[in-house]
Chains A and B, each alone.
Chain A
Amino acid sequence: MLEDQPEDAALINDELRRAGLRFDFKRVDTREAFIRELNENHPDIILSDHGLPAFDGLTALSVAKRRFPEIPFVFVTGAMGEEFAIKIFENGATDYVLKHHIDELAPAVRRALRRAETERLQSETQAHLRRNEESYRQLVESVTDYALYMLDLSGRITTWNVGAELVEGFTAQEAIGKHIGELFPKDAATSERFERMFRIATEQGRYEDEGWRVRRDGQRFWINVVVTAVRDHAGQLKGFAKIARDLTERRQYVEALRRSELRTRSVIETALDAVVLMDGDGVVHEWNPAAEKMFGFKRTEMVGKKMAEMIIPPYLRAAHYTGMARYLAEGHSVILGQRYETIAQRADGTEFPVELAVMEMPPDGVRMFTGYISDITERKRGEENMKRFNQELEESVTKRTEQLEAANKELEAFSYSVSHDLRAPLRHINGFVEILQTSAKEALSDEDRELLDTIADSARHMGKLIDDLLNFSRMGRTELRFLPVKLDSIVQEALKEMRSEMQHREVDLKLGALPEVEGDPAMLRQVFINLISNALKYSRDRHPARIEISSEETATEYVITVRDNGVGFDPAYAHKLFGVFQRLHSPQQFEGTGIGLAIVRRVIARHGGRVWAEGQVDQGAAFFISLLRKRNGNGDREGSL
């Protein structure tokens, strides 16, 4: 209270207390005291006289207002001219009360205090709001994950945060003030989208959209956009707030997950095997189309049911449950993780063989099992067919072998009796002819004797035929003994046997180096005896006879040639040379039974080789035999002969 009269101060104090106000007060009457009180005690209200001797009220008002504008300042004075009243109000006074109307003071003080309180509250709220707004602005500005920006009604951008720069690819400088349409592609789809966006945001207050966009640099990104209509207190539309978020990574993850899920699902859906997913209680959770087809139960019929009760025949269920319980309790099973064959039951009650594989899925809380079931009816049938076929084959092989063995025995018996019975009469003919020739020599005419000679010759020839035929048959039936054979020595042995045939002959023999082969020595010797004796026979008119034996080798075989300069043969009949009893010359020209080359062919064929001949009439002949370089296995090579 600025008052020089203590009586007045007491009066004011009484008046206010009488009106019910509770307060402390301090009377001051100098400038220094006034300022000190203001600074130190910060009064709630200043009551001031006007005309003080040392300090006038108007100055006090301006001091107070300069320092503490919020403190109400009420003049309490004896008189107040109209001009002065205007002046104090212009300078910020709150009110004035004339001392002779002191009863107005309390209401005025109350009014002033109330007003000051209101103003204080207002200014506090405003400061708070300002602070809020600032931090909010900073928050928005600094958000990087979200593009946040405001648009005015015309679509012009008014704010643009860091997130918008990152998400949309434009700096605040580039964006603010532009129409949103200017920043994005100017195609129909985009402008249509914007149009829709503004319309829906206006009509419904909110618009949300998600999709692929192309950033300024051409990069595709997935964005989530929320546009909110911004209205003032009166509800008048003022613009739009747009929040956009780049969700590309999440989108890609979601899409990858979905693709992976789709793929996994399609693996199960398209599997040819029945795929069943069940829990530890055997309750079906998944049942794929193949399972539907195989068992005749729809997915909807199976899910939630116990698998065993649906597709395992009653008599096998107990074993199934026991096995499952043991696995769950002890963790080992004869079934899990491997294929095994069992019997399953269809919806119509029919049973069929299946191959079943049950796997426990990777632990993920609940124990789950996957069952893969394939219908093996066909396979079983195939297996049985195969088994039956094998059995039949075995039987027929056994039977055939028996037949062959029987035939072989018969053949042996045949040749046995041939060698005995066919030879005996010949021997008799010979014997009796010879006896006649000696004992009846004198009684016979020359012609008779010639006839006897012819009979003997014919018998001898027949004997030779029989011997050769038996020999040929033996060559085909005797088991081959495969040994390493030096053909050089074989040829030497053959030549030794034919010494007598070469006696008194002029023979020019040329022997090339011959290889070592694997074969039956006795049979190969027979081959060379036959070939060389052939060469000698058909070249006996040549002086000298030239016989050349040589060898060449290819990657797989040796080819041995026996060449002579004899009478040769007509190549038109070359194919007949190796046949049994086939002869290209008459017995008068060259004796022989026609079995030698047949034996050669049979023996070489049994060694896995080939024989062939080249020649021209009167130009000599060449006989070729081929023998494999390396034998593998020990069996007879004979295919069919």
Chain B
Amino acid sequence: MTRELKWILLAEDDPNDAHLTKRALVDSKAPPEIVVARDGAEALDVLYHRGAFAKSESTRPCVVLLDLKMPKVNGLEVLRAIKGDPKLRTIPVVMLTSSRQERDLMESYDLGANAYVVKPVSFADFREALREVGSFWVVINELPPQTMVM
């Protein structure tokens, strides 16, 4: 454990959404550190310490907030990669999306998503939702002991 501070990986291609999400999370009682990946490929780079993130911290995020629709590698593909990798699959993944499509929901849970949150249109509701997501996954939820990642 090289680092006490819990951090969140937010994979979100839309800068406005990223802005609003960060804002909502920052408004919470114990604002965590937020690492933003602009697409799925970047998100995987963060998790595998590749490319621009090769020299980043070797700890794992306490939760990954994953948008579904992203360029290059989309949210479901990132989810499949995380849950398909024995080293990563214990990381909680919350799908954070504007899609209410049943198909997306089913597929996400099939792939092992830990939660599925539809972004409310109203910012007040959105902020409230993210506050709860943050307090649950960052504060309340206990993670399994972290295995060292090379």
Name A residues whose Cβ lies closer than 8 Å to a Cβ of B. 416, 419-421, 423-428, 430-435, 459-460, 463, 470
Contact = CB atoms under 8 A, between A and B. Distances in A.
B123 A431 contact: yes
Interface of B: 14, 16-17, 20, 23, 68-69, 97-101, 119-124, 126
Contacts of B99: 416, 419-420
Nearest to A421: B69
Given A419-B100, A419-B101, A420-B99, A427 B126 contact: yes
Q: Please name the 5 residue pairs, one residue from A and one from B, whose CB atoms are nearest each other, closest first.
A: A434-B123, A431-B123, A428-B16, A431-B20, A463-B121
Contacts of B122: 430, 434, 460
A420 B98 CA distance: 5
B27 to A, nearest CB: 10
A463 B126 CA distance: 14
Contact of A459 (B16, B17, B97, B121): B121
A427 B119 contact: yes
B15 to A, nearest CB: 10
A425 B119 CA distance: 12
Contacts of B97: 420
A526 to B, nearest CB: 15
A435 B19 CA distance: 11
A88 B124 CA distance: 185
A382 B134 CA distance: 74
22 contacts: A420-B68, A420-B97, A420-B99, A423-B121, A424-B98, A426-B121, A427-B98, A427-B119, A427-B121, A428-B14, A428-B16, A430-B122, A430-B123, A431-B16, A431-B20, A431-B23, A431-B123, A432-B20, A433-B123, A434-B122, A460-B121, A463-B121
Contacts of A423: 98, 121
A431 B69 CA distance: 20
A208 to B, nearest CB: 107
Given A427-B119, A432-B16, A460-B121, 17 more contacts: A419-B100, A419-B101, A420-B97, A423-B121, A424-B98, A425-B16, A427-B17, A427-B20, A427-B120, A428-B16, A428-B17, A430-B121, A431-B126, A433-B123, A434-B124, A459-B121, A470-B100
A420 B69 CA distance: 8
Main SS of chain B's interface residues?
loop
A149 to B, nearest CB: 115
A115 B16 CA distance: 173
Contacts of A463: 121
Contacts of B100: 419, 470
Given A460-B121, A463-B121, A424 B126 contact: no
Contacts of A460: 121-122
B25 to A, nearest CB: 13
Contact of B20 (A419, A421, A426, A428): A428
A40 B122 CA distance: 171
A440 to B, nearest CB: 14
Contacts of B69: 420-421
Contacts of B123: 427, 430-435
With a 10 A CB-CB cut-off, give which of B14, B99, B123, B124 has the most chain A CB atoms. Answer: B123
B98 A419 contact: yes
With a 10 A CB-CB cut-off, give which of B17, B101, B121, B126 has the most chain A CB atoms. Answer: B121
Nearest to B24: A431
B133 to A, nearest CB: 16
A424 B20 contact: no
Contacts of B68: 420
A62 to B, nearest CB: 158
Contacts of B121: 423, 426-427, 430, 459-460, 463
Given A419-B101, A435-B23, A424 B124 contact: no
A428 B123 CA distance: 8
Nearest to B16: A428
A416 B14 contact: no
Contacts of B98: 419-420, 423-424, 427
Nearest to A427: B121
Contact of B101 (A416, A427, A430): A416
Contacts of B120: 427
B31 to A, nearest CB: 16
A423 B126 CA distance: 13
Nearest to A439: B23
A470 B97 CA distance: 16
Contacts of A427: 17, 20, 98, 119-121, 123, 126
Nearest to B20: A431
Contacts of B101: 416, 419
A601 to B, nearest CB: 24
A479 to B, nearest CB: 13
A426 B123 CA distance: 10
B129 to A, nearest CB: 12
Nearest to A415: B101
A433 B122 CA distance: 10
A272 to B, nearest CB: 64
Given A419-B98, A433-B123, A460-B121, A424 B14 contact: yes
A431 B120 CA distance: 10
Contacts of A470: 100
Nearest to A460: B121
A428 B17 CA distance: 7
B3 to A, nearest CB: 31
Nearest to A417: B69
A425 B120 CA distance: 12
Contacts of B16: 424-425, 428, 431-432
Nearest to B15: A428
B23 to A, nearest CB: 7
A435 B101 CA distance: 28
Contacts of A425: 16
A45 B120 CA distance: 171
With a 10 A CB-CB cut-off, give which of A416, A427, A431, A432 has the most chain B CB atoms. Answer: A431
Nearest to A462: B121
Given A416-B99, A459-B121, A424 B17 contact: yes
B116 to A, nearest CB: 14
B106 to A, nearest CB: 14
Nearest to B120: A427
A432 B16 CA distance: 9
Contacts of A431: 16, 20, 23, 123, 126
A434 B121 CA distance: 11
A413 to B, nearest CB: 11
Nearest to A428: B16
A420 B70 CA distance: 11
A425 B15 CA distance: 11
A434 B120 CA distance: 13
A178 to B, nearest CB: 118
Nearest to A425: B16
Nearest to B119: A427
